[in-house]
Amino acid sequence: MLEDAAKFQELQAKKEEEARNFEETIADVIESHNVNVGQIMDKHRSLMEGQIAQTEQLKKEIER
């Protein structure tokens, strides 16, 4: 009986550790994803600003 209780406690602890590891892994993946999305958004924003400036310049040239 004591062996069963000890084994149960061991398995319970292992299950809790695996759950913590899983949650940490998920948090790391989400953080990495958010960093990547932020970088992509920054590149896109920069590209769009350049295109808008170029469009504005072309509009000014056409108006001349």
**Residue 47, domain member (yes or no):** yes
Q: Mind listing the pLDDT tens digit for each residue in 8-59?
A: 999 999 999 999 999 999 999 999 999 999 999 999 999 999 999 999 999 9
Confidence (pLDDT) at 50 = 97
Is residue 2 over pLDDT 90?
Answer: no
**Residue 57, domain member (yes or no):** yes
- What one-character DSSP code corresponds to residue 64? -
Cα dihedral value 2, 5, 7, 13, nearest 10: -140
**Residue 32, domain member (yes or no):** no
Residue-range definition of the domain harbouring residue 47: 37-64
**Residue 54, domain member (yes or no):** yes
Split into its structural domains, the chain has a count of: 1
Confidence (pLDDT) at 60 = 93
Confidence (pLDDT) at 1 = 80
Q: How confident is the model at residue 4 (pLDDT cuts 50, 70, 90)?
A: confident
